[in-house]
Chain A
């Protein structure tokens, strides 16, 4: 074997050929595992796109659906797109300040015991199935009052808080301690150090975490079934009433007997998929930019 070309005192007892074989085997297995992961995503995108293309046109976002349509009049899912924008937007407004403040408290101010405890709580909350959050918000807000966009936003916000605060904590931990010490060493108060030195360093990363959280909850269906799913076909921006959303619309259309509805469900799924794909890519780009900025020092 070629590796035996070299002779030396340390090579005599080594079982080089065997070690090389094991190495090659492990490398191959890892490569196959990676290929499977990428392959699954590829197959999903391909099959969604194949079903979606016939129904993919501008009517999808400019026209409302028509109930019990007997004609071929063009219809779309404008109400679902608008509803998703409203519900996810409000959810972000609710979750962002809470998530960021929790992270700042835990990373900058809390004693280790509280930090560990609350971090664990956040991780548990992160692991709670979305449908459980849905039932919780259903019991809290929907029973007796009826569904509303707000209730849906609240449910999604519950899912976003742990995502935002955990990612923000990680970003804050990347800010070098020497910067905090530099500021504190000047006699600058702790809160001012956090606000003026630590946070500006982390804005990019916090934004990244938020974008990822938005992408994640924009595709949530279960909590919205409980809180914002009994809707008409009109586009509405008013979150006091239940609003249609893309994931719920996909779910409902997929149960329809009409093949045209199926096609529109696929098209909506493709749009959702692309949205998540591009926001994730954008977030990653932001994160890299932020990281190289931090690494420059």
Chain B
């Protein structure tokens, strides 16, 4: 059966064709990941790989465990009481959940931008500088601040008021500041948990642009509700869906993971097809 995709779902053409997967460098190798909140499974048996210098999008309906999954990648769920996970997540071949791994070191390499902008109640400059100071990045700070803000497409808007409170910025500006803050400490991977869900279309576009421009330096994993956004920014797309266990409990599951183009034009799973064509979710 041929899949018809709504016109708005056209996949961006400026994307270069992906080389074969075995030639891509693997950042994450996730195997059999199960995540459980106080006995309630959130995601089950996720196995996938995340490749270097690509944007990987995680899409799926509400409650399918997208956020849970992405928060596993930098051990952000450690902070949640009652959370347990099994399976392995290898980051450059190292198991990040091994007992000898410090979660702080994991997060130092794998930064995160959250759903709602959460700038520190400090000045715009200090929001970017604070992380660098704490983590001991002391050389060329002013240049680094300018570079991070420029990369986050915010510099022109704030260059004259770096001393102003970050809370005086608009929501979209705050979110870009959070991205600048995250990349200022030069992580290897930037995880984004629905970074544009609280933003207007213009701010959303700015954030998509910057991901596109920065992916040569970083690896992005982005959770999004918005399929158009995944189609626009992502090289690879993973589709998660809600499944029902034998005892009726609901949990999230990875249904299909492939090149974005393939997911949106020729998905191999019926559930993916239903989702991307808008028949479900």
Give per-residue flags for B98-134: 1 if the beta carbon is below 8 A from chain A beta carbons, else 0.
0000001111110111101011110000000011001
Q: Is the CB of A184 within 8 A of B79?
A: yes
Q: Is A144 an interface residue, CB under 8 A from the partner?
A: no
Q: Is the CB of B120 within 8 A of A182?
A: yes
Q: A187-B187, A196-B134 are in contact. Are A182 and B114 (CB under 8 A)?
A: yes
Q: Is the CB of B111 within 8 A of A186?
A: yes
Q: A186-B131, A190-B104, A296-B167 are in contact. Are A181 and B118 (CB under 8 A)?
A: yes
Q: Is B276 an interface residue, CB under 8 A from the partner?
A: no
Q: How far is the CA of A184 from the CA of B107 in the complex (A)?
A: 7
Q: A182-B120, A196-B134, A296-B167 are in contact. Are A187 and B104 (CB under 8 A)?
A: yes
Count residues of chain A with CB under 8 A from any CB of chain B: 23
- Separation in Å of the B79 CB from the closest CB of chain A? 7
Q: Is the CB of A192 within 8 A of B134?
A: yes
Looking at the complex, which one of B118, B167, B187 makes contact with A176 (CB distance below 8 Å)?
B118
Closest partner residue, chain B, to A178 (CB atom): B118
Give per-residue flags for A168-199: 1 if the beta carbon is below 8 A from chain B beta carbons, else 0.
00000000101111111111111010001100
Q: Is A165 an interface residue, CB under 8 A from the partner?
A: no
Q: Is the CB of B118 within 8 A of A179?
A: yes
Q: Is the CB of A187 within 8 A of B105?
A: yes
- Separation in Å of the B176 CB from the closest CB of chain A? 14
Q: Is B281 an interface residue, CB under 8 A from the partner?
A: no
- Separation in Å of the A228 CB from the closest CB of chain B? 43
Looking at the complex, which one of A181, A184, A188 makes contact with B135 (CB distance below 8 Å)?
A188
Q: Is A9 an interface residue, CB under 8 A from the partner?
A: no
Looking at the complex, which one of A112, A182, A296 makes contact with B118 (CB distance below 8 Å)?
A182
Q: A180-B79, A182-B120 are in contact. Are A187 and B167 (CB under 8 A)?
A: no
Q: How far is the CA of A146 from the CA of B74 in the complex (A)?
A: 59
Q: Is the CB of B76 within 8 A of A181?
A: yes
Residues of A close to B119: CB separation below 8 A: 182
Q: Is B19 an interface residue, CB under 8 A from the partner?
A: no
Closest partner residue, chain B, to A179 (CB atom): B118
Q: Is B46 an interface residue, CB under 8 A from the partner?
A: no
Give per-residue flags for B56-84: 1 if the beta carbon is below 8 A from chain A beta carbons, else 0.
00000000000000000010100101000
Residues of B close to A176: CB separation below 8 A: 118
- Separation in Å of the A222 CB from the closest CB of chain B? 40
Residues of B close to A112: CB separation below 8 A: 81
Closest partner residue, chain B, to A189 (CB atom): B104
Q: Is B55 an interface residue, CB under 8 A from the partner?
A: no
- Separation in Å of the A182 CB from the closest CB of chain B? 4
- Separation in Å of the A189 CB from the closest CB of chain B? 5
Residues of A close to B113: CB separation below 8 A: 185
Closest partner residue, chain A, to B167 (CB atom): A297
Q: Is B231 an interface residue, CB under 8 A from the partner?
A: no
Residues of A close to B221: CB separation below 8 A: none
Looking at the complex, which one of B105, B107, B167 makes contact with A186 (CB distance below 8 Å)?
B107
Q: How far is the CA of A190 from the CA of B102 in the complex (A)?
A: 11
Q: How far is the CA of A48 from the CA of B51 in the complex (A)?
A: 77
- Separation in Å of the B44 CB from the closest CB of chain A? 25
Can you name 19 A-B residue pairings with CB atoms under 8 Å?
A112-B81, A178-B116, A181-B79, A182-B178, A183-B120, A185-B111, A185-B112, A185-B182, A186-B108, A186-B135, A187-B105, A187-B106, A187-B107, A187-B131, A187-B187, A188-B134, A192-B134, A201-B121, A297-B167
Interface residues of B (CB under 8 A from A): 74, 76, 79, 81, 104-109, 111-114, 116, 118-121, 130-131, 134-135, 167, 178, 181-182, 185, 187
The 7 closest A-B pairs by CB, nearest first: A187-B108, A185-B112, A178-B118, A186-B131, A187-B107, A182-B118, A189-B104
Q: In the complex, given contacts A179-B118, A183-B120, what are 13 additional A-B residue pairs having Cβ atoms less than 8 angstroms apart? A: A112-B81, A176-B118, A182-B114, A182-B118, A185-B114, A186-B134, A187-B106, A187-B131, A187-B135, A188-B104, A201-B121, A297-B121, A297-B167
